[in-house]
Amino acid sequence: MVNGVRRIGRAALNAVLPPRCLKCGAVVDQPGLLCPSCWASVTFLAPPCCAACGYPFEFAMGEGALCGACSRDRPLYDRARAVLRYDEASRDIILGFKHGDRTDGASALGRWMARAGAELLAEAEVIVPVPLHWLRLFTRRYNQAALLALALSRSSGVPVAVDVLRRRRATPPQGRMSATARRRNVEGAFVVKPERRDRIADRRVLLVDDVLTTGATVNACTRALRRGGAAAVDILTVAQVVRPSQ
């Protein structure tokens, strides 16, 4: 009841308050936009890029070209794409969406993701978000990946199944962990719910999350989805960490 009241209150507020920049909060023309200076501060990722992880290349390397890291150790997923480079400028957008109350940004971020992931969406049969553990869901009130997945489904028309994956245990936040520690942290943490297997069996799944860092989380989810019968798994995120050379 309290939640319902809060939601109605927010909807009413949104109707009378001017729309605000997703990053700095300055007033903008339409909801879900960045103001001109924030727009100029973020880096949009675009081809050419590694066919697997989406790492941006300076020059076109030919179709199917892989970055150094992927040619040494190919990720479990097929392709990963992102809207923005994850850096100081884009971090505020992600954190505002994750911990703040900027869920109004979901539909704009969904539209951005639909554009950046057009190639993946053309073949995707179902969109699945990375799940939160229920304990964290309880304290945070919403799963940001699920909000993004729902918005992306609205923008693209590809069906979404928000409750396919389950997080078996609450894993500690990975903020400062090394790549190996992250991998161990999420190993075996995800499983496909047996009663939801039919949503992904023999389908091409598009897995959605807010940020792709080392790939530990999406690889663990990909392994679970494959075990659950998915034909292929692609990844689409709002932002992706781009290392100086890869």
Which residues make up the interface to Zn ion (CB under 5 A)? 21, 23-24, 26, 35, 38, 50, 52-53, 55, 67, 70
| Residue 52 or 146 with smaller CB distance to Zn ion | 52
| Residue 75 or 131 with smaller CB distance to Zn ion | 75
β pairing state of 165-167 and 232-240: unpaired
| Residue 153 or 222 with smaller CB distance to Zn ion | 222
| Residue 207 Cβ vs Zn ion, minimum distance, rounded to whole Å | 17
| Residue 35 Cβ vs Zn ion, minimum distance, rounded to whole Å | 3
| Residue 55 Cβ vs Zn ion, minimum distance, rounded to whole Å | 4
Q: Distance of CA 193 to CAs 95, 143, 159, 169, 185, Å? A: 29, 17, 18, 14, 21
| Residue 99 Cβ vs Zn ion, minimum distance, rounded to whole Å | 18
| Residue 70 Cβ vs Zn ion, minimum distance, rounded to whole Å | 3
d(CA 8, CA 154): 22
Give the largest CA-CA distance in the chain: 56
| Residue 112 or 167 with smaller CB distance to Zn ion | 112
| Residue 35 or 165 with smaller CB distance to Zn ion | 35
Beta bridge partners of 49: 56
Alpha helix locations (H) across 49-178?
A: 68-72, 88-98, 106-116, 118-121, 134-140, 144-156
β pairing state of 232-240 and 204-212: parallel
